Amino acid sequence: MKTKYKGLKRLYIALIFIFMYAPIALLIVQSFNSSKSRGHWGGFTLDWYRSLFTDASIGEAFTNTILLALLSSVISVILGTAAVIYMSKLKKSPRTILMGVTNVPMLNADIVTGVSFMLLFLTLRIQFGFVTILLAHITFNIPYVILNVMPRYRELNPHIYEAALDLGASPVYAFFKTVLPEIMPAILSGGLMAFTMSIDDFIITHFTAGAGVHTLSTKIYSEVKLGIKPEMYALSAMIFVTVLLLLILVNRVPAKADAHGKEAV
């Protein structure tokens, strides 16, 4: 099939990409701007990248953000995968109910989820802090894991696992040898989605954070009104460029290797 209007279609895609990336480009430019106020170019500088590493409060917010994302995605992967195995053995109606409950944090408005957590923690008199944010993040991450792992798990051939059992493997051993490798890609993509959601969340964190505990999101929100510290631009630019480079690297290098392999054959 011949592709018509290829140029126009490419142009359209390019325009959307410009729309998506223009603010990001602006933020990156800002991170090299020696003037603190936005919109005024005061000359090129790397100062913000230098002072970034001595700014303890941004460092702490960053640590919290990454730690939350790592812990919440790992815990939600474990809980979520176990839940998938359990749910796939349930009868239809309990499964539908449990799936319905599972979907709630994903479909619910962030503000309602955040508010409901705040009310829960206040009633239980749990002090707001890192732990409350972590509990909330795990909760809204689990559905992403389940939704990724569930279809993959249901596609599995159950006979392989049973064959392993018949051959004398313990259920745990059989699981790690036959089931886990098969569902690993789904677990990883669910985990990555969870990680991304946790990093990008502001609203739920806003309602569950306590005194002196900041993530990058809540820190930025409190700075927006007073003027964002340029170090924040520098940090975001670094995170962004790293992710972008990783993606390009991962995507382009194997593709080329493949091509070489084929040529050789």
Partner 1 sequence: MKKKTVFSICLPLLAAGLTAYLAAGCGKSSREREDAPDNDSNRLYVYNWGEYIDPEVIGLFEEETGYKVVYDVFETNEIMYPKVAADPSQYDVLCPSDYMIAKMAGEGLLAELDMDAMPEAKTNIGEQFWRMSEDFDPGNLYSVPYTWGTVGILYDSERVDEEITSWDVLWDEKYNDEILMQDSVRDLFAVALKKLGYSLNTTDLNELEEAKNLLIEQKPLVQAYVVDEVRDKMIAGESKIGVIYSGEAEYTREENESLSYCIPKEGTNVWVDAWVVTKDSRHKKAAYDWINFMCRPDIALMNFEYIYYSTPNIGAMELMDEETLSNEVLFPDVGKYDLEAYRYLGTDAERLYYNLWKEIKSA
Partner 2 sequence: MSKTRRLSSAFLGLPYIFWAAAFIVIPLIMVVWYGLTDENGAFTFANVAAIADPAHSKALLMALLLSFLATVVCFLLAYPLCMFLVELQKGSDSFLTMLLIVPMWMNFLLRTYAWQSILEKTGIINTALTALGFAPLRMINTNGAIILGMVYNFLPFMVLPIYNALEKIDKNVINAARDLGADGRITFLRVIFPLSLPGVISGVTMVFIPALTTFVVSSLLGGGKILLIGNVIEQEFMVAYDWNLGSGLSLVLLIFIIINVVISAVTEKGEEAKA
Q: How far is the CB of 231 from partner 2 (least distance, A)?
A: 12
Q: How far is the CB of 213 from partner 1 (least distance, A)?
A: 9
Residue with token string 């923690």: 121
For partner 1, the closer CB: 164 or 215: 215
Closest CA to 206 of 224, 188, 189, 219: 219
Q: How far is the CB of 17 from partner 1 (least distance, A)?
A: 19
What does 238 interact with, of partner 1, partner 2, none (CB < 5 to 8 A by kind)?
Answer: partner 1
For partner 2, the closer CB: 30 or 73: 30
For partner 1, the closer CB: 75 or 164: 75
Q: What are phi and psi of 234, to 5 degrees?
A: -60, -45
**Lookup: tokens for 81:** 């995968």
**Lookup: tokens for 149:** 């792992």
Q: How far is the CB of 56 from partner 2 (least distance, A)?
A: 19
What does 176 interact with, of partner 2, partner 1, none (CB < 5 to 8 A by kind)?
Answer: none
For partner 2, the closer CB: 48 or 233: 233
What does 59 interact with, of partner 1, partner 2, none (CB < 5 to 8 A by kind)?
Answer: partner 1
